[in-house]
């Protein structure tokens, strides 16, 4: 069944998402400080083929062209993040006016083009100077982060009305402080639990700071969410799936909702008490204006004696002989429907926005085009599932594609391409993929092919 934007209602928010470290480049330009990802990606064998993001999409120098391209696709909302170390190079102390000026220019140009900016305060690129003090394992980060949030709201809150405090806290704590596969590359349960609690504290405290400065702002935060099912109906598999769900999906939303850590289903989290201070339980809670969910796949879980702490093992997609994406993630559109239903059950989720959804495939440029039919179908199928949830009463009110352009995908480097716009990283040439053309047509209800080509020609002529 063909669907249109009208099926979602006039107030439904459509957009695309990106993140500062993944697209900006200009890693040391204009007095920017080093982030943990600047340092991590320079270490040998930490990133696919030792790739780095020193230039990436060069958005720092090409934001005008990219935003014009975004406008040509009729994309009305743009979610991007601020680089903490570009604004405050050492994380605390001296402000970098050039960094502030850059984001002012991006925000102002978005508004000039009729694109609403949605800003994420923290998308994984902690200033490295703060990591030297312990980073997310140091309780002082609650104050460091609060000061950073305060500055951002003072500088940009007059024009930016939608803010997200953290991006996927379970990912940056788990991958960065437990598994060590993401920056800053730390491992161990002690690091992990401390980083979880401090991130949960910052999640609520950052929102309180923002609201105290500008009560009219819409404040939210975002979670990585995978629909989880047991491999079999055996009680051991059901229990393992429950534990995985508690850790991956429930930890941060339940603390935010005033329910505390889900220790009943994941006794491991009882150990977090060693870093909890008196009064923290109340401070963890905050009534967000919206919740961002970010879903890409479904996970199948089985019991395993050999997995420490949770005795649960995720069965890889290639071991299950299912349709999958480049990163070995199963393609399972109903996953986003189930996640929307799950999160809508929390009273604190007054409004839900799908702040990320997308897919990486093996894109090829052929005669100046990228015919990414798999991505186009993926987006269509997932949008259909979002509509199904909305029609059943779920309070979902937005959908953002990850990502606008191909970019630096963390430890996977440039190998996975998620963009609806192809980037040749050697020339910085942009090509709107078929998925991007479809999304533009879907948002406008008309064929944009000729208009896109005309605007591109005008843009190039103006630069000559």
Q: How far apart are CA 195 and CA 177, in angstroms?
A: 7
Say which residue the tokens 């940009």 belong to.
156
3-state secondary structure 133-144: CCHHHCCCHHHH
DSSP 227-251: EEEESSSSHHHHHHHHHHHIIIIIH
459: Cβ–Cβ under 8 A, 6 or more apart, which residues?
A: 65, 68, 69
Per-residue model confidence (pLDDT) at position 326: 87
User: Which residues are part of the catalytic machinery?
Assistant: 168, 356
| CATH no., domain 13-225+323-463 | 3.20.20.80
Q: In the chain, pLDDT over 70 holds for what percent of residues?
A: 95
Query: pTM for the full model?
Result: 0.94
CA dist., res. 329 & res. 324, Å (int): 5
Rounded Cα distance between 34 and 38, Å, is 6
Q: What is the phi/psi pair of residue 58, to 5°?
A: 55, 35
Cβ atoms within 10 A of the Cβ of 56, count? 25
Q: What is the mean pLDDT of the chain?
A: 95
Domain boundaries, the chain: 13-225+323-463
pLDDT at 453: 44
Strand order in the sheet with 298-303: 227-230, 298-303, 312-315
Helix (H, G, I), strand (E, B) or coil at 148: helix
Alpha helices in 328-372, H assignment, sequence order = 334-344
SS3 47: coil
**pLDDT the model gives residue 26:** 98
Residue ranges of the chain whose pLDDT lies below 50: 446-464
Strands (E), 225-337: 227-230, 290-294, 298-303, 312-315
């Amino acid at each position: 069944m063909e669907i249109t934007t009208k099926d979602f209602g006039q107030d439904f928010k459509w957009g695309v998402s990106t993140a500062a470290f993944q697209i900006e480049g200009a890693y040391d330009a204009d007095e920017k400080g080093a982030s943990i990802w600047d340092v991590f990606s320079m270490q040998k064998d930490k990133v696919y083929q030792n790739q780095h993001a020193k230039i990436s999409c060069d958005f720092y120098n090409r934001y005008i062209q990219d935003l014009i391209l975004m406008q040509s696709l009729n994309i009305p909302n743009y979610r991007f993040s601020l680089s903490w170390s570009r604004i405050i190079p050492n994380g605390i102390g001296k402000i970098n006016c050039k960094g502030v000026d850059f984001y002012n220019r991006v925000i102002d140009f978005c508004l000039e083009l009729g694109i609403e900016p949605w800003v994420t305060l923290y998308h994984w690129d902690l200033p490295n100077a703060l990591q030297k003090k312990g980073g997310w394992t140091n309780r002082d980060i609650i104050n460091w982060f609060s000061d950073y949030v305060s500055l951002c709201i003072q500088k940009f809150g007059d024009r930016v009305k939608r803010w997200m405090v953290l991006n996927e806290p379970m990912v940056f704590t788990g991958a960065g402080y437990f598994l060590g596969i993401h920056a800053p590359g730390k491992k161990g349960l002690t690091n992990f639990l401390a980083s979880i609690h401090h991130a949960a504290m910052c999640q609520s405290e950052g929102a309180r700071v923002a609201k105290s400065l500008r009560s009219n702002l819409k404040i939210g935060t975002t979670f990585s969410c995978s629909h989880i099912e047991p491999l079999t109906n055996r009680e051991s598999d059901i229990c393992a799936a429950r534990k995985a769900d508690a850790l991956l999906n429930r930890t941060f939303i339940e603390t935010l909702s005033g329910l505390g850590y889900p220790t009943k289903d994941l006794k491991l989290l009882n150990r977090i008490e060693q870093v909890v201070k008196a009064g923290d339980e109340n401070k963890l809670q905050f009534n967000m204006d919206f919740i961002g969910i970010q879903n890409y796949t479904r996970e199948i879980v089985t019991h395993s004696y050999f997995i420490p702490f949770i005795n649960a093992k995720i069965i890889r997609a290639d071991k299950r002989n299912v349709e999958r994406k480049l990163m070995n993630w199963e393609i399972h559109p109903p996953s986003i429907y189930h996640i929307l239903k799950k999160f809508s059950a929390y009273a604190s989720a007054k409004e839900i926005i799908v702040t990320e959804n997308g897919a990486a495939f093996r894109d090829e440029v052929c005669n100046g085009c990228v015919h990414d039919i798999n991505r186009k179908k993926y987006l269509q199928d997932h949008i259909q599932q979002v509509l199904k949830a909305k029609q059943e009463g779920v309070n979902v009110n937005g959908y953002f594609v990850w990502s606008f352009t191909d970019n630096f995908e963390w430890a996977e480097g440039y190998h996975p391409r998620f963009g609806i716009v192809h980037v040749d990283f050697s020339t910085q040439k942009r090509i709107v993929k078929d998925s991007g053309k479809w999304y533009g047509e879907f948002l406008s209800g008309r064929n944009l092919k000729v208009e896109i080509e005309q605007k591109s020609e005008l843009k190039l002529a103006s630069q000559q």
